[in-house]
């Protein structure tokens, strides 16, 4: 599984191990945590200021970290741009 670590939880009563999947910041196609613009493999990703500011609100609402949501968004828009052969993506 790319982008996830499998972490063993406490064994259950039937002695089988349960696993929790924890997302990591290892998204292949993401800018740095504080970057609002950058290029990944020839595809430029630009964040509008309002979208960049919304990350904190969405992180609070979804109980995720701002960095995780940012990396996930950038990974997704990069792959979408690759599919449609675009060289620039703007997150609004």
Residue 62 lies in a domain: yes
- Asked whether residue 19 is domain-assigned, the answer is no
- 70/56 Cα distance (integer angstroms): 10
Burial of 66 per CB tally in 10 Å (0-12, 13-18, 19+): middle
CB 21 within 8 A of CB 3: no
What token pair was written down for 3?
């982008």
**Domain-located, residue 72:** yes
Condensed to tens digits (0 to 9), the pLDDT of residues 23-42 reads 545 688 999 888 999 999 99
Question: Is pLDDT at 50 greater than 70 in this prediction?
Answer: yes
Domain hosting 62: range is: 28-91
Residue 57 lies in a domain: yes
Question: How many folded domains does the chain comprise?
Answer: 1
10 or 42, which is more confident: 42
Q: Is 20 inside any structural domain? A: no
Rounded Cα–Cα distance for residues 67 and 78 (Å): 16
- Structure tokens of 28? 């292949």
Instruction: Check: pTM over 0.85? Answer yes or no.
Output: no
| Spatial distance between the Cα atoms of 30 and 79, rounded to a whole number of angstroms | 11
pLDDT for residue 27 = 81
pLDDT, position 21:
40
- If you ran DSSP here, which 8-state letter would residue 24 be given? -
What is residue 9's predicted lDDT score, i.e. its pLDDT? Answer: 47
| Domain assignment present for 9 | no
């Amino acid at each position: 599984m790319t982008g996830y670590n499998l972490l063993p939880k406490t064994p259950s009563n039937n002695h089988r191990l349960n696993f929790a999947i924890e997302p990591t910041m290892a998204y292949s196609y993401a800018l740095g945590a504080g970057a609002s613009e950058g290029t990944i493999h020839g595809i430029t990703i630009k964040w509008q200021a309002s979208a960049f500011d919304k990350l904190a609100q969405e992180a609070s609402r979804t109980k995720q970290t701002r960095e995780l949501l940012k990396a996930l968004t950038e990974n997704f828009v990069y792959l979408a741009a690759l599919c449609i052969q675009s060289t620039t993506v703007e997150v609004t």
